[in-house]
Copies of this chain bind each other. A is one copy, B any other.
């Protein structure tokens, strides 16, 4: 935080009736709402402004946070894992777009696409998580080369994309059930590889545990794994990798 910014904050305090407490918070990089403290420095520190995790919050809490962020001029706001009724309320109140299959709500404008991620989705039932990933990438300024429905039971569907895999800069693999796709892709590419186990399956999939353990034990080195159904996290990591270039 440089002198200019601090000066501006103090001036707002003097002229706009903002309280001294709020000014202190802002100098510390904190934006207080009724029940949250938004981390305003996060973009400086981590290259990504705060994203709102919708699950377990009330719609009112999320709306307070969005209001506070937009009043500070923040644009390109993302809410993840938003339940259907929250998503609809947000669209009614702020406009923006809500994707019910993935629970992603987005407000504001997207940055121009800087790089491309290869996103591979094992089956049609994994699409909601793939969409969470894709929409997060979009808000981070990255486009997708999307390869879908290429489960290992028909390995030729994947091998048809071998050249694309060889030329990718970062690959995200989304798979439930036995999660074997990560290992097979790992043997066909040179670039960093991120596995997203999904909770797709039943019985001994134990809500994604089977896919998670399989991906963690992948014999194909060069990959790492995020939480079950965490398409958002995979997108952020892929974005950080692309931003290195």
Contacts and interface: CB of A to CB of B under 8 A. Distances in A.
Interface string A131-156: 00000000000000000111111111
Contact of A190 (B46, B101, B212, B213): B46
Contacts of A191: 240, 244
Contacts of A72: none
Contacts of A125: 53, 55-57
B240 A192 contact: yes
A222 B241 CA distance: 9
A96 interface: no
B45 A190 contact: yes
List the number of copies, as a whole number: 8
A48 interface: yes
Contact of A234 (B65, B189, B224): B224
Interface in A4-40: 28-30, 35-37, 39
Contact of A41 (B154, B177, B210, B215): B154
5 closest A-B pairs (Cβ-Cβ)? Answer: A203-B228, A56-B125, A180-B180, A224-B224, A39-B154
11 contacts: A46-B186, A46-B188, A46-B220, A58-B101, A151-B219, A152-B184, A180-B184, A180-B218, A203-B212, A210-B216, A223-B237
Interface of A: 28-30, 35-37, 39, 41-42, 45-48, 51, 53, 55-58, 61, 65, 81, 101, 122-127, 148-157, 159-160, 166, 169-170, 177-180, 182-184, 186-195, 197, 199-230, 232-234, 236-237, 240-241, 243-245
Given A152-B180, A193-B240, 10 more contacts: A35-B124, A45-B166, A56-B200, A178-B215, A178-B219, A203-B216, A204-B213, A212-B216, A222-B237, A223-B226
